[in-house]
Amino acid sequence: GDFESYDDRILSSYMGPLIHDPNIEVTFTLGVRYRTLNLNCERFPTNITAYRRAMAYGFDKYRANQEAIGGIGMPLDSYIPIVSETWEVESEVGGEFYDMNIAAGNASLEAAGFIDLDGDGWREYDANGDGDFIDPGDYDDNHADMSIEMNPSLAYDPAIIACTVAQDGLTAMGMHSTIVEMDFGTIIDNMVIGDYYVSCWTEGVAVLNTAKLLYDNFRTGAVWNPDYYKFSNA
């Protein structure tokens, strides 16, 4: 009469009936899985730090947690989770800082030259700050490069919902975006060659419990391929 499931997912929409069934016991433990929005750091406009920062400000993390996975996620400010046995910083931080902040996002965009110059509610890109968008390097809001495409896994509602929340934040800040579902394998292929703006998928980390391991995995490429993020610096 027992069922055991290994390395499989149960959609959060099924959890209510399971929890309330008197013949089924459901237990919860904290895991290490992250739904990530990976931004291409080589492709305009996601290559601009202020744009990426604005997108983070405009992303309603509480809403995404509730609507995408039924509220079972834990907000963290450290990539190394509180379930770590060796080191974690959450207890020292004294809280988490996930509130959506459209005002901060707007300020970040404007400082980088994303300004609504024609008063239509959508931002242009004024690269040299001269107050128009007709010079080389400038873009009006209808330019194809000013609308990023977000790619969640095909027909996978949690990822689609997460992208929708991100899109709503961008819209509130006057930035265009679209959502195009893709087969997961295609998403990975596009990340490798850099043919993407934003990809959304769930990343599982089996062991991540020291700051050194975080560095080794995500900065030096010892385990995780940093080319996926198209980010590098000196």
Total length of the chain: 234
What is the value of pTM for the model shown?
0.81
Going residue by residue through the chain (234 aa), what tens digit of pLDDT does each one get?
Answer: 777 776 666 777 788 888 899 998 888 777 777 788 989 888 999 999 999 999 999 999 999 999 998 888 877 776 666 665 566 666 676 666 778 999 999 999 999 999 999 999 999 999 999 999 889 889 999 999 999 999 999 999 999 999 999 999 999 999 999 999 999 999 989 988 889 999 998 777 666 666 777 676 665 544 445 556 665 554
What is the Cα–Cα distance from 153 to 187, expressed in whole angstroms?
Answer: 8
Q: Which of 151, 153, 143 is nearest to 175 (CA)?
A: 143
